[in-house]
Amino acid sequence: MGSSPFVGITGGTSDKTHGSRWRVHDNGGGHSPTVHYLFVSFLLCSSVGVFYIFYLFNNPNLNYNNSLGCQEDNDGSWAIGAFYGDSPFSLKPIEDMNIWDNKSAAWPVANPILTCASVTNSGFPSNYVANPFLYAKDDFLYMFFENKNVITMQGDIGVARSNDNGVNWEQLGVVLDEDWHLSHPYVFNYNHQIYMMPQGSGTRDIRLYKSIEFPFKWKLEKIILERPLVNSVIIYHENMYWIFGSYQTRLTFGDLEIWYSKTPFGPWTPHMKNPFTGPRNGGRPFVYNGNLYRLGHSENIRVFKIEHLTTHHYIESEVDFKVEKSTKGINAWNGARSHHLDVHRLRTGEWVAVADGDRTHFGDVTSRHVVGCGLIITSGSIVLLTCWLLGFIKCFIPLTHIKKRNDSILNWERLKLRLRLNQTINPNTYIGKFILTVLLILSIVIACIGFGYMYGGNGSEKPYPVNNHFSQFTLLAMTYDARMWNLKMYVNHYSKCASVREILVVWNKGKPPNPSELESAVPVRIRVEEKNSLNNRFRVDPFIKTKAVLELDDDIMMNCDDLERGFKVWRENPTRLVGFYPRLVTAPPPLKYRPEKHARKHDGYNMVLTGAAFVDREFAFERYWSEEAELGRKMVDEVFNCEDVLMNFLYSNSTPGGHSVEYIKPAWAIDTSKFSGVAISGNTQAHYRVRSRCLEKFTELYGGITEWKVGFRRRKDGWDR
């Protein structure tokens, strides 16, 4: 036999060494196809992995670029929202109250009203905020909450202040910090003095802190109960103070316990019937219509009516309670769970509540990393297994000390021999090359999925705040009966976007569908038009509740993050058209309508198509239907085209001294009409000729737009590349 060089990957270099070993085999002195395959596999997998991680870390919706706060946390990504109602049992989220705030361009203000970002931006790095408690003093409403410290990775107690009943919150900072984790800052008044009873996970007791300088300074007043109760609250009921809390063992939370005393300082006596079966407290107990209610939680808030409470008996019964919860899943700030609620009655008689919420479940980060690691190992195993079957990497299992071969080993040896004899994956044949290529692509895809699990976040497409406030917009699509396939997919997809409040379907022709036929996470309203006209897209509609309207054709599909980025830019520039498809009209006449590549070639744009653009519904719709725009609307009806061009002219010539359009580049966009065969503009050249006529006519009517060129790559965030 000829000599063959061997390089051991693990183990010794001699065949006489006992134990299993791996070998890399190269037949002859040159490089075999298997060497090339291993090298190319390693190079491609490594390159794709590096570039994919780079892409993930530059995703604007992830927080890896923010070293101060809002990092991924295995405990969750908790935030706090506000709710209002005539009673604690009729609470609605703040966005349903239609409260507008001009300072933060929130029309309307939407939940959440407090996040890790708003706390971090005030100078106190935070991973999440949770367990809110309200306390009213003078003309202010204070909110105490758990703030997960990024540096110590334990909870501190933070506080915020509002002078408008919970719409806007001023961050006042961290007011209580101990060497152990703090949470659940229960604040109450006793004998005209303010006390706080936070939960301390490192003390296994209940401590009472006294306010020295409200709300900033607190000092330990007394350890009132040496008992590891969690989520504890104190209430005054029938001349007695009562502590409700759940006993904490080293591993789990036990049953509910009740203790009583004449004063909050003790001594405390355990209830005769301790322990009780019941969930942990989920907030401050409250009194409504003379009845006392206890809040509990599992994955969501539950309410229990306390029927009987004495030193000898305790009876509670669960009552119907439901805080409106989004069905948008991980795109909603409270889509996964909520475990705390605090209600407070305002001087007006209205009730305000604050609740925490999370878009993911506990342990999400760990589970994603475990799955990701498993997939990456699987990807590498495919490459190694292929090389092993090719004979490039050999694993010898010495049989010297085995009296009888195992049947499974013999079967596996026969399988390898059969694969080699039949040359099924011989790299020198076309079939072998095809199989190797498929295996390589499969390993790369699995590796990318693994990296996505590890570094791609939890998959949520979150909204972007402006001045620490969130808002919502209405999504408007114009369609007709032949495009129902597009519409169903459109509604199902976009209704899950975080900032979409309502989807308005402008029905131009044919029998309209029943809204129940459309699967949606938000309300869908169908407005049936009498005339099939493109002008209907901008018709004044008093039932639209938001200031922002996203005009989006029903055949355009893009991800929710693109919509959220566009909405943020519009809120920063509400007097502009903010869109995703730029166009450039250049002088001299005759003016020609050209595709996006013309704008790219000349590095600028002066139009954005309103088939995918944010508008101010008050300004845009009223101006479009003004007497000034009447001739333009007539031409739109004549050519059944150009309504978006007309809107650009109306915007441009009403914004003196500045540009009226803003472009945002989508990560991807798909025209679904290409699949359904119902595209309105089938003949591109004829479509462009009609639009060129519109440019000439609208320039004559409303003035030119060629001088208002805006360059690409102006934004620091790179969203207009």
How many Cβ atoms sit within 10 Å of the Cβ of residue 594? 17
Please name the residue that has the structure tokens 């009806």. 637
Q: Which tokens sit at 482?
A: 């032949």
Q: Which residues pair with 355 in a beta bridge?
A: 81, 341
Pairing of strands 140-149, 229-236: unpaired
Contacts of residues 65-68 at CB distance under 8 Å and 24 or more positions apart, as own/partner, are 66/120, 68/120, 68/125, 68/150
Three-state DSSP class for residue 438: helix
Q: Which residues are catalytic?
A: 644
| Rounded Cα–Cα distance for residues 616 and 116 (Å) | 30
Positions of E strands within 544-592: 548-552, 556-557, 577-579, 582-583
| Rounded Cα–Cα distance for residues 391 and 191 (Å) | 84
| Rounded Cα–Cα distance for residues 70 and 129 (Å) | 10
Three-state DSSP class for residue 76: coil
The one-letter amino acid code at 377 reads: I
What is the radius of gyration, based on Cα positions, of the chain?
33
Cis-peptide, bond into residue 279, ω within 30° of zero: no
| Rounded Cα–Cα distance for residues 21 and 261 (Å) | 72
Please name the residue that has the structure tokens 């408690």. 133
Question: For 283, left (φ over 0), alpha (ψ -120 to 50), or beta?
Answer: left
| Rounded Cα–Cα distance for residues 592 and 584 (Å) | 9
The one-letter amino acid code at 111 reads: N
Q: Which residues pair with 608 in a beta bridge?
A: 582
How far from 203 is each of 174, 198, 510, CA to CA, in Å?
20, 11, 69
| Rounded Cα–Cα distance for residues 425 and 420 (Å) | 8
Cβ within 8 Å of residue 141, ≥6 positions away:
134, 135, 161, 162, 163, 165, 166, 344, 352
> What's 106's DSSP letter?
B
How many Cβ atoms sit within 10 Å of the Cβ of residue 672? 18
Query: Quick one: which H or E segment has residue 121?
Result: helix 116-121
SS3 per residue for 649-676: HHHHCCCCCCCCEEECCCCCCEECHHHH
CB-CB contact of 161 with 184 (8 Å): no
CA-based angle 670:674:678, to the nearest 5? Answer: 125
Q: Which residues pair with 506 in a beta bridge?
A: 478, 527
SS3 per residue for 159-204: EEEECCCCCCCEEEEEEECCCCCEEEEEEEEECCEEEEEEEECCCC
Cβ within 8 Å of residue 658, ≥6 positions away:
none
Phi, psi of 441 (to 5 degrees): -60, -40
Q: Which of 32, 16, 19, 685 is nearest to 393 (CA)?
A: 32
Q: Which tokens sit at 546?
A: 């938001």
Q: Which of 666, 482, 506, 654 is nearest to 582 (CA)?
A: 666
CA-based angle 554:557:558, to the nearest 5? Answer: 140
